[in-house]
Structure 1
Amino acid sequence: MDEDQDEPIGQYNDANRAFLQAFLARGTMTFKESQPVLAAIFTAQEGQTVESEQITQEDFDSYVSAASAAISPFDLEIRSAMHQLRKERVYAVVNTTSDPITQLATLHSADEIAFVKRVIDAMFERYNTPRMEALCLDEMQANKLRVPPRPEENEDETMMENGEGQSQAPKGLKSSEVESVMRSMVDEGWFERSRDGFYCLSARALLELRSWLLDSYNDPDAEEGEWQRVKFCEACKDVVTIGQRCSERDCLVRLHDNCAEAFFRTRRQRGCPKCSKEWTGRHFVGERAVTETEAYQRGRRRSGKSARHSNVAEEIMHEDDEEQEEDGDEDGDEDDE
């Protein structure tokens, strides 16, 4: 807004408090989403109608900056990142100190939180390999995680020695509860669900969980050039769970789709910046690593049932696990020789 404000510039006032309250209620916000919020605030503050279209990026940035400064003493801050699919920047309130997973305890039971942790583990471990970086799962695959894995025999003995009874172990969820929890994770802004029914971490989750993801899934002692489960965009340096990868399997270059367009626009040749191999744009990170395969497309043509789609996706990912194990066995045989 170009009009003068009643309060001196830089002074935190009721307008700032109203904006922060709206931001906290949502958890995330984009500039477009902020326009009607700020328009309503300015209308009430100035006593005359302010339209959403009159709100500028500068207005939004100033209120975000003031809000971030206000919540800083409470170990909170506002961070932003480009959405991996939409060409818009997402802003989120992030807790800078506590374990993000434990923050769910205010809304979910211990069994539900344990289930969500198993889902994220599956995204970054089971469905994320050098051959196929899917980093997502569908509802059928999530349903298989509803019950925690049975402890190994030695773990069971340790629990008994420590006086931990079987009743203390997480009980797991019912199938109907899995559907409810997955839906709530989407509604609360932690997961996103695609048209094909795959769940992945949302922009908010990637901002909030970034440090936790690195600590949980990446090896700090890994050598340079070694494959890691959490990878970053070569252009914007944010985490990549949806995007493109180099066609050379052992090359670690990854790009968001939006970043790839600008990245190669300034280059004469469309080649990988590290290995120089042609960048095809047809090797994917995310659900397209599954859905763009010939096997998945063939399965979708044969049946319109979502259950069939899910079975095909599971088969493709399972085949990738087997190929990964075979590669490991071959490497071991070569070492023995």
Structure 2
Amino acid sequence: MASLSWKHHTLIQALISRGPLKEKEFHSIFTGVTGRNPGDAKKIFDKYLLEINKELSYVHFELRACRDQYDGHVCYGVVNTVSDDQSKLGTKYSVPQIAFFKGIIEAIAHDEAAQGCISGFDALNIRLENQVPSEASSSQQQVPPAFRNFSMSQKDKTLDELVKDNWLCRTRDGNNIGLGIRSLLDLRSWFRNNDVPSCEVCNEAGVKADLCPNEGCTVRIHKYCLKNLSSQRDDRVCSGCGKPWPLGRVAKEEAVEAAVNDDDEEETDTQATSLRSKKRKIRRHRDSAENVSSQASLASSSGITRRRVTRSAAHLS
């Protein structure tokens, strides 16, 4: 990477050391390093990414961007573009853990409802034996002992590690398991090779997506892609079934969700304001008490001083 400057190296190091970053955070680092805002200097930003990827390609890595299918935010990360036995040696996960992770990925990605998650119970009950090649799975003796002995507690611990490392994620209620941003970044070719249906709009894997509401149609579109479409027109014909896809309802759903979020934020702001008000009252009472105490102390001190002066004068006379 001799042709890259320290600024390029800093951007690469930030993604490697911190893991995938949200667009806002990565843009903030870029601005701090280059002094340029990616929003105002998009050509310069894109040029940096192209120069970085040109050098990373020699070691089979890539600086890649994708959308988090659960919240629609753009994220950046550095990924390995080659999946071979040698690169697998670099992982901290054991063979049974990798098989367990693969089983979860397959269950989520091939969900016909495109919910983008499975329950924690279903995740813990993933059978590692299903990850053994088909010719070996027919014989119980050919299933690795490490697979058979992989306990429920080991699965639970592995789930926590995968979530911590952003390979998986937990839904807001904490009951379901979804794909982490590292999986969405790193498994792009795996989604395509395993026939995971793509979003009709952006052509990325539709792991977490909305299905065409018309019966029998399997077309799916990410919610954030639907939102962009609904801002342009009220209706669109589905390319799969040829029937209208009522995009107008998406805007209504987004409005309701936004209203709920606004109410939550307003409630939070009200609570925060109330707390600040209470703190100010406490400070005022405390300052008032301290002031009274200081005045009393001063008065007491003055009285003592006056008495001493009087006694001294009397003595002198």
Query: Which TM bucket (shorter chain)?
Result: 0.5 to 0.7
Q: Which amino acid aligns with 2:25?
A: E
Structure 1 residue 200, shift from structure 2 partner:
1.7
**What's the C-alpha RMSD, in Å, of the aligned pairs?**
3.7
Please list, as runs of the form range in 1=range in 2, the aligned pairs for 1:28-43 lying within 5 A after superposition. Answer: 28-42=20-34
Q: Which residue in the other structure is 1:56 paired with?
A: 38
Matched letter for residue 201 of structure 2: A
For 2:29, give the aligned amino acid.
V
Measure how far apart 1:116 and its partner are.
0.9
CA shift digits 1:6-57 (9 cap, x unpaired): xxxx962112112211112233233311244335535xxxxxxx6xxx6333
Counterpart selection for 2:58 from 54, 57, 73: 73
- Find the counterpart in structure 1 of residue 9 from structure 2: 17
- CA distance, structure 1, for counterparts of residue 190 and residue 6 of structure 2: 35
Do the aligned residues in 2 keep the contact of 1:247 with 1:283 (CA within 8 Å)? no
State how far apart, in whole Å, the 2-side matches of 1:123 and 1:212 are: 13
CA contact (8 A) 2:62 2:79 kept: yes
Query: What residue in structure 1 maps to residue 280 of structure 2?
Result: none
Q: Are the counterparts in 2 of residues 247 and 277 from structure 1 also a CA contact under 8 Å? A: no
Q: Which among 78, 82, 97 is matched to residue 82 of structure 2?
A: 97
Please tell me whether the aligned partners of residues 139 and 179 of structure 1 are also in contact (alpha carbons under 8 angstroms). no
Aligned length: 245
**Displacement after TM superposition at 1:234 (Å):** 1.2
Q: Is the 8 A contact 2:114 2:211 kept in 1?
A: no
Matches within 5 A, 1:150-169: 164=142, 168=145
**Alpha-carbon contact 2:116-2:207 (below 8 Å) kept:** yes
The correspondence for 2:153, drawn from 150, 169, 176, is: 176
Mean CA deviation greater in 175-184 or 65-74: 175-184
Asked if structure 1 preserves the Cα contact closer than 8 Å seen for 2:100 and 2:126, the reply is: yes
> Share of identical aligned residues, percent?
26
Structure 1 partner of 2:171: 194
Tell me, yes or no, if structure 1 residue 260 matches structure 2 residue 260: no
Contact 1:146 1:172 in 2 (8 A): no
- Residue by residue, what CA displacement relative to the aligned partner does 1:123-182 show, whole Å, maximum 9, x if unpaired? 234xx23xx33342122111112653699xx9577576xxx5x66452343333222211
More helix by share: 2
Q: 1:269 to 1:143 in 2, by over 3 A?
A: closer
Shift of 1:269: 2.8
What's the offset of the Cα at 1:105? 5.6
Structure 2: runs of 5 or more not aligned: 251-317
Gaps of 5+ in 1: 1-9, 43-49, 219-229, 285-337
1:242-261 mapped onto 2 (5 Å cutoff): 242-261=208-227
1:110 — aligned with what?
95
| CA distance in 2: counterparts of 1:146 and 1:240, whole angstroms | 25
SS in 1 for 2:102: helix
Decide whether the 8 Å contact of 1:240 with 1:255 is kept in 2. Answer: yes
Query: Which moves more between the two structures, 82-91 or 235-244?
Result: 82-91
2:235 and 2:248 in contact (8 A); partners too: no
Q: Distance in 2 between matches of 1:158 and 1:31?
A: 48
TM-score normalised to structure 1 length: 0.61
Residues of 2 paired with 1:100 and 1:202: CA distance?
A: 23
Which letter maps to 1:214? R
Of the structure 1 ranges 24-33 and 253-262, higher mean CA displacement relative to structure 2 is found in: 24-33
* C-alpha distance after superposition, 1:275-328 (max 9, x if no partner): 2434356999xxxxxxxxxxxxxxxxxxxxxxxxxxxxxxxxxxxxxxxxxxxx
- When residues 254 and 283 of structure 1 are mapped into structure 2, their CA distance, relative to the original with a 3 A threshold, is farther
Kept in 2: contact 1:147–1:172 (CA 8 A): no
CA distance in 1, matches of 2:67, 2:208: 12
Tell me whether 1:138 sits opposite 2:119 in the alignment: yes
Deviates more, 1:25-34 or 1:69-78: 25-34
Greater C-alpha radius of gyration:
2
1:148 aligns with 2:126: no
From 220, 230, 241, the counterpart of 1:275: 241
Asked if the contact 1:244–1:281 (Cα under 8 Å) also holds between the matched residues in 2, the reply is no
Which residue of structure 2 lines up, in the alignment, with residue 240 of structure 1?
206
The 3 A distance-change label for structure 1 pair 120 and 16 is: same
Identify which of structures 1 and 2 has the higher relative contact order when contacts are C-alpha pairs closer than 8 Å and 6+ apart: 1
Q: What's the TM-score once normalised by structure 2's chain length?
A: 0.64
Q: Which amino acid aligns with 1:110?
A: V
Distance 1:195 1:149 in 2: 29
- Over residues 194-228 of structure 1, what are the superposed CA-to-partner deviations in whole Å (9 max), with x where a residue is unaligned? 1133222234313321222332x32xxxxxxxxxx
Partner-residue secondary structure (3-state), 2:53: helix
SS in 2 for 1:12: coil
Q: For 1:310-325, what aligned pairs fall within 5 Å after superposition?
A: none
CA distance in 2, matches of 1:150, 1:67: 36
Q: Distance in 2 between matches of 1:92 and 1:244?
A: 26
